[in-house]
Amino acid sequence: MTEQNPPAVSGASTAGTTRPSAGRSVLLFLRDVVVIVAAALVISFLIKTFLIRSFYIPSESMESTLMVNDRIIVNQLVPEVVPLERGDIVVFRDPGGWLPAMPETPQAPLEAAADWVLSLIGLSASDSDEHLVKRIIGLPGDRITCCNDLGQLSINGVPLDEPYVLLPPDTIDVSGQDFQEDVPEGTLWVMGDNRYDSSDSRFNGVVPIADVVGRAVVVSWPIDRWQWLDNYPLVFDGVEQAE
């Protein structure tokens, strides 16, 4: 029996096959770029909407923890997933009357479009001036009293030693005014770290928990200011037992 050789593959005809043209290759490349960018935008939008977002600091009320024009990253899983704690720095929507009316600043169309895109993915914070940032001092049910003979604020009868508070020289009183307030259910008592330059719950009342956007976790900009934001759990140690 004669063995038949299999057909050789070298030199096989390429008839019927065509190479993609250079123009088509460019179009395919551009299509892939558009898909990748669109996917990145969608993912960034979802992260900004449900997980984290950025805000900038427009005022001096949280100095020297947060400085003017610092940018902070806010965890938006608070308070729905992660519970709020005393000492947390939180961003919240204006409950009404905390912020003065701000005139709209006109933007060039290109600038407005760029700001909209960056805001969409959480890299810009065009609505920062519609929010406030303060530190939680009292939770629902707490009694906040100030000040004792040492100038300290107390929660449920427990005096606090607050290392984050910025005071004028030769001042020990952490508030500048005496008060006693009970924090209603569903609300928070918040104060700025710069106590003598902060319009907070002492002047505007409590903040509904429903208005909390999230908890500030890190200063992200400028680079030389990068730091995790502490909620100083030891400051509030012992308060729970006093409730």
User: Can you tell me the distance from the alpha carbon of 72 to that of 55, in angstroms, rounded to the nearest whole number?
Assistant: 5
Residue 48 appears among annotated catalytic residues = no
Q: Check if the beta carbon of residue 220 is closer than 8 Å to that of residue 71.
A: yes
Residue 61 appears among annotated catalytic residues = yes
User: Can you tell me the distance from the alpha carbon of 152 to that of 52, in angstroms, rounded to the nearest whole number?
Assistant: 34
Catalytic residue among 54, 59, 128, 134: 134
User: Can you tell me the distance from the alpha carbon of 178 to that of 159, in angstroms, rounded to the nearest whole number?
Assistant: 14
Residues 6+ apart with CB under 8 A from 99: 129, 130, 132
Catalytic residue among 13, 21, 44, 61: 61
- Among all residues, which ones are annotated catalytic? 61, 134
